[in-house]
Amino acid sequence: MKAYLMTLASTFTDPTFLTYFLLAVAVGLALGFEFVNGFHDTANAVATVIYTNTLKPTPAVVWSGIWNLIGVLTSSGAVAFGIVALLPVELVLNVGSAAGFAMVFSLLVSAIVWNLGTWWLGLPASSSHTLIGSIIGVGVANALMGPTHAVTEGVNWAKAQEVGIALLVSPLVGFCAAALLLIVARLALKKPELFKAPEGGKPPPTWIRGILMLTCTGVSFAHGSNDGQKGMGLIVLILVGILPGTYALNMAASRESVTGLAKETAEMSSVFEAQGGGKILTGKDANDTLATFLKPQEKPSPAVFSALAGICDDISNRLRSAEGFQSLPAAERGDLRTDLYLVSKTLTKLDKAGKLDITPGVREQQRSLARHADLLTNHIPDWVKISVALALGLGTMIGYKRIVRTVGEKIGKSHLTYAQGASAELVAMGTIMIGDHFGLPVSTTHVLSSGVAGTMAANGSGVQGDTVRNIILAWVLTLPVCIFLGALLFAGALNVIALIGIG
C-alpha cells in the first residue's frame, strides 16, 4: 500500500503529468465557458418565439441549440483570433508556462463566475463583456507584477478600445434600429394582427409564425458564429502552448503555400534590412525586439526592421526546401509559429502607424506577407470547433428560463407583440453578423435586450424601470468586476501553478 501511494504521489508531482492535467482542465474550462454562454446568452434568441407562442419552450431551445451548433461549425475564426489579440504578447508567446496557464485559468474562471451570478439573478449580462473584462484584468495584473509595473504595457489598449466601442455601440444600435424597424413596419404592413399580443396560449397565424421562426434561427446561428469563437480561440492558444508540434501550424497547408511563404520572406528580408539601415538582428535579440515593439506604447525604430529582416531570413531558410510543414521537425514548429506571429503582428502595427515601405507595390507585398502568416497560423482544428459547438448547443438547451422570463416579461410594461419580437431579433441578427464579418465580438444580450426595450418605447408601451435599471447596472459593473476578478485570480493562480512545478 505504501509503495502504491508513493507511486501515485510521484505521478501527481511529475511535471509532464501536471502539464497535461492542467491542459485538460484548461480545455474543460473553455468548454464550460461556452456551455454557460449557451444558456446565458442564447436565451435571448428563444425569448421572443416562446412569449409569442410561436414555439413551446422545449422545441424552441432545441431548435436554437442546433442552429448555434451550425453557426459555430461554419464560423470564420476572425473573432477567435481577435480575442487572442487582446492578450498580453509575452503570455501569448509563452502560454505553456506557469504565467500562461495562470492567464487561461483566471480569465475563464472569472468569466464563468460572473456569468453564473448574473444568470442566477435573471440579468441578461454580456458574455463578451465578461471575457474581455477578465482579459484586461489579467493584462493589468501581469504588467503590475512585471519589472516596470506599467499598466500601459499589460493590455493592448488600442484593440480593447476597438472592441469596447463595438460593445458600447451595439445596444444603442439595437434600441434605435429595432424601434425604427417597428415604426416602418407599422407604416408599410397593413396587417393589424402582426401588432397584437398573443391571446392566451394560441399560436400566431402561420405566416407570422414563419417570420418569428426565421428570426429566431438567424439570431441563434449568428450567436453561434460569433460567441462560439471566443472559446475556440482560447483552446487553440492552449494547444499551441502545450503541443506545438501538432497545433502550432496549419498542417494541412499545401506545399505551394509553404514554399510561397519562403519566397515572400526571402524577398522582404532585404527590404527590411534596407529599412533598418543595413543591419540585421537574429535569434533571441530579434524576437525580443519585436515582442517589445508589440507592447501598446512602443514606437517604430530601425531595430524593428532589422529584427524583421533577420526573422524573415530565418523563416525563408527553414522553409526553402520543405515539402510542407509535416517535413519540419516537430521541435521547430513552435518556434516557426512564434516567428510568423511576431512578423504578422509587427507588420500590422507598422501598417496602422503608416511605417511600411512607401513604394505601393512593396507595401502591398508586406501586407500580403502579414495575411499569409496569419493564414498559416490562425488555424482551428475541426475537433475544437465540434467540441465548442456541442458545448454551446447543449448549454442552450439547459437553464434558459431565468433570462427568457426577464426578456419576455420584465422589460416592457405590456406583453410582447409579434412585430416587436421580429423587429428585435432581425436587428440582433444583423448586428451580430456585421460584427462577425469585421471580427468584433458583439454582445447578443445587449443588442436583443435593448432591441426589445426599443420596440416597447416605439410602441408606446413603456418599459419597467426597475428591470431596465438592474440590467444597465449589470452592464456597467461587468467590466470593472471582471477586471478585478481576472487580476486577483491571475495573481493567485500564478503562485499556485509555479508552486506545483509548472513552467
Q: Is residue 337 part of a domain?
A: yes
236 and 299 inside one domain: no
Residue type at position 366: Q
All three cell numbers of 9, joined, read 504521489
354 and 397 inside one domain: no
224 and 265 inside one domain: no
d(CA 69, CA 394): 9
The string of pLDDT tens digits covering residues 123-150 is: 777 777 788 888 888 888 887 876 554 5
Q: Is residue 171 part of a domain?
A: no
To which residue does cell 492552449 refer? 238
492 and 360 inside one domain: no
153 and 202 inside one domain: yes
Please give the angle made by the CA atoms of 334, 368 and 384, to the nearest 5 degrees: 45
* Domain end call among 377, 395, 422: 377
The string of pLDDT tens digits covering residues 460-471 is: 777 777 777 777
All three cell numbers of 250, joined, read 496549419
157 and 56 inside one domain: yes
Q: Average pLDDT of 312-330? A: 86
d(CA 135, CA 105): 11
120 and 225 inside one domain: yes
Highest average pLDDT, of 99-103, 349-353, 466-470, comes from: 349-353
All three cell numbers of 340, joined, read 510568423
228 and 277 inside one domain: no
Q: Is residue 180 part of a domain?
A: no
Q: Is residue 429 part of a domain?
A: no
Taking phi over 0 as left and psi of -120 to 50 as alpha, with beta for the rest, 417 belongs to beta
364 and 393 inside one domain: no
Query: Who wins on pLDDT, 233 or 412?
Result: 233
276 and 292 inside one domain: yes
Mean pLDDT (the chain) is 80
d(CA 380, CA 137): 26
| Number of Cβ atoms within 10 Å of the Cβ of 146 | 13
What are the Cα distances from residue 460, in Å, to 31, 182, 201?
42, 11, 24
Domain that holds residue 328: 254-377
pLDDT at 158: 66
CB-based contact 195:183 (threshold 8 Å)? no
201 and 62 inside one domain: yes
Burial (CB count <10 Å: 0-12, 13-18, 19+), residue 446 = buried
Query: Who wins on pLDDT, 58 or 152?
Result: 58
Domain count along the chain: 2
265 and 316 inside one domain: yes
